[in-house]
Amino acid sequence: MIKRDFEAILRGKDLIVSPTMPIPPFKLGEKTSDPITMYMCDICTVPVNLTGMPAISVPCGFVEGLPVGMQLMAPPFREDLLFKAAYSFEQNTDHWRRNPAI
């Protein structure tokens, strides 16, 4: 059902763009005592992984010195679209050049 929903969303479109995580980034080790929050950080990436559809996460900015990710999802067997979009984004931004304040 999840795969069918994603395919319906993508019908007539090239990509879906979403955040990699539903919350701003946190410092290394900051949430380890909160397993629910740690689990929920994967909520944006798990559904597409269950479908077997291709996806890629790329750095798209920073919040308080920590990197924020953008996830791109494509129809089955369209990794070429992901690579082109990720490369284009990389060429037009400099987020990937910066180092996080870990």
pLDDT at residue 55 greater than cutoff 90: yes
Answer with the residue of higher pLDDT: 32 or 19: 19
CB 32 within 8 A of CB 97: no
Give the start-to-end residue ranges of the domains of the chain: 2-97
Please give the helix or strand (H or E) that residue 67 lies within, else none: strand 66-73
Cα 3 to Cα 17: distance, rounded to the nearest angstrom: 16
Q: What is the pLDDT of residue 74?
A: 95
What's the rounded Cα separation, in Å, for the pair 9 and 21?
20
At 7, phi and psi to the nearest 5? -65, -40
Dump pLDDT digits (tens) for 79-88. 999 999 999 9
Q: Residue 102 has what pLDDT?
A: 63
H or E element that contains 51: helix 46-51
Mean pLDDT, residues 22-34? 82
- Pair 23, 81: CB distance under 8 Å: no
